[in-house]
Structures are given as structure tokens and as C-alpha cells.
Amino acid sequence: MNSKLIQAIEVLKQLPEKGIEKALEQLREIKDECEKEENAETRPCPHCQSKKVVRNGHKNGKQAYLCRECRKSYVSTTRTGIFGSHSGEAVWKQVIADTVEGVSLDKTAESLLLHHATVFNMRHKILYCLEREEERNPTLLEGICEADEAYLLESYKGKKLPEGFWRKPRKHGAVAKKRGLSKEYICVCAGIEREGRAVSKAVNRAMAGREDIDLALGGRVSEKTVILADGTKGYDALGEKRNCTVIHANPDGGASCHINTVNGYHSHIKERHRNARGFATKYLNRYNSLFAKTYRADKNIVDEIYRALCGMGESFTIDETQTLNLLQL
């Protein structure tokens, strides 16, 4: 704790007068966080799950432990999504909250006195964790659900296009070269319960076929699911392969036969996409995992995501978050 306070004091000396109040507030958070860590119950060994552990000095400012069973050493963040991070719980939760709310990286970095690249790496660890969690425990849709597709303009944000690429580079927020649907648009298939959970996944360019729809939603429906879709016949594949009930909604089908709920979810995705001036297409399914997790979520979602980060049972590097499981279409 002393080393963190000394570093904070050095930063405080370099701040203008108007920044002192914010720095003092962060100092209090650091102090509370360190006291919480010192008083926390000792974590079982992440290697063998044994509780026969003893304190074993400090490593990079964190309490280290030694397991009496497997004789391996570890710290509180070993085999978690925040392994190797120098930031504490308060900072991570603020980055998670800003990610959920769609706050820009620059604003988050400024408020936490962190470098832009640091916040970028933290955000993508969060997104990678959410995507991995969805892969391990897919969201299952039950009861009456609505399904439809949304189309987002592809983006190579953060990457320089090679010579001879099939289209010219465009500025963030620009429009497609052609009118209507084309291969410049990424199809996002989404399904949502009328009163509950949502799922979404990017599956193809332009129109989605039967196989694309089954890839996105097939593993998330069952015999207990009733799918309301528009006139797209591709959704019939869910009824044929997954034994769920598929009903094609229409304007004359009555007050309950509509897909307004999934359209509202699409509007949420498009608004976030527009505010960010596009997400890099290779990260699109990670943002889909974020939107599905946080759409209509309560105020405890930040704590829930932080617990998921700390309870992953594995750690990963920054390079892995930017190279593994990327969307390739």
C-alpha cells in the first residue's frame, strides 16, 4: 500500500490546483481498496484448489501465497482476467462501468489519469472475457422470443488497408459506397426474450442464409422456444433442426405478433455503433457479447462483470486479446 500512496503523492505534486480534488478522491479509493485486500479471505490455490496456503511475501506490490500441497506460488490475480494488471478493483470497475455506458477511451483515461493504451487494453480484456463466457455458457432463449437481423457497416478501424484492397479507405462515420445491402455490410443475427435475455452474433456479409441463422441462434433455442420472426424463410431452419416453434410475424397478426422488442435491441446496437463511429469488424462479436449482457441489465452488472473477470480460471495476455477469436468475414 505504501508504494501506491508514494506514487500517488508524486502524481499529486504535478497536478494543477483544479485536479487536486479528483486526485484526493482517487487516493481514498486506493486506500480503501488496499485495506480490503489486506483483510480479504485468503484465496485457495488456483493450481490445485487446496486451502492449505500460507503468505509468501509480496510480488509486484501484491500479497503472494505458497501452496503447501502443490508447492506453487501465486498472487491474488493468478489465473484471472486481470492478471498482470497494476490497477486495483476500483479502477477496473470504473473501466467496466464506462465500457457498459459507452464512454470513450479518452474520457476514461482522463478521469482515471491513465494512458489511452492502458485503458484500451483493459477494455479489450473485459470484452474478451465476456465473449469467452458466452462461448462456455451460451445464453438459452426460452418462451416467446423475437429474432431478426441488423446490418452494420464493416470497419477496419485502427488498421491501414493494404495496397490493392477491394475498396478505398474511408473516414470513421462515412457511408457505404453502394446503396442498399452489399458486402460492405455485416449481418448481425439477434434473438431476444420479450421479458429477458438477448443474444447476437455477426455471421455473414449482406443477407443471412439458413446456415447463418442456425449458426447464430441454433444452439440457443429448444423445444420450449417460440420464435417470432419477419418474413425471412431462413428462420424455418430453426424449427426443422432445433424443434422449436417458428411464427412469421406480420402487421395483421394482432397486438402480440410483432418483433418490436428485437427491433429495439437493434436500435441499441446501432446507436452504440454510431456513437463510437464504428467498431472494428474483427472485434464485433465481442461487442455483441457486451450488448447482449448489458441490455436491460440492472445496476449490479458492473460487479457481475468484475466477478466474471476474477473467476475465469485462466489468464490471458494483451496479445491474445487482440489475436484470438477474431471475427473473419
Per-residue pLDDT, 124:
95
Per-residue pLDDT, 240:
92
- The rounded distance, in Å, linking the Cα atoms of 201 and 122 is 23
Per-residue pLDDT, 159:
86
| Domain 140-294 belongs in CATH node 3.30.420.10 | yes
The phi, psi pair for 298, rounded to 5°, reads: -90, -175
Selection from 156, 43, 130, 66 nearest residue 316 by Cα: 130
All three cell numbers of 11: 502524481
- Secondary structure (3-state) at 203: strand
For 23, counting Cβ atoms within 10 Å of its Cβ (0-12 exposed, 13-18 middle, 19+ buried), the class is: middle
Q: Which residues contact 283 (CB under 8 A, 6 or more apart)?
A: 124, 127, 326, 327
**Positions of the chain with pLDDT under 70:** 1-21, 23-24, 26-28, 30-41, 250-256
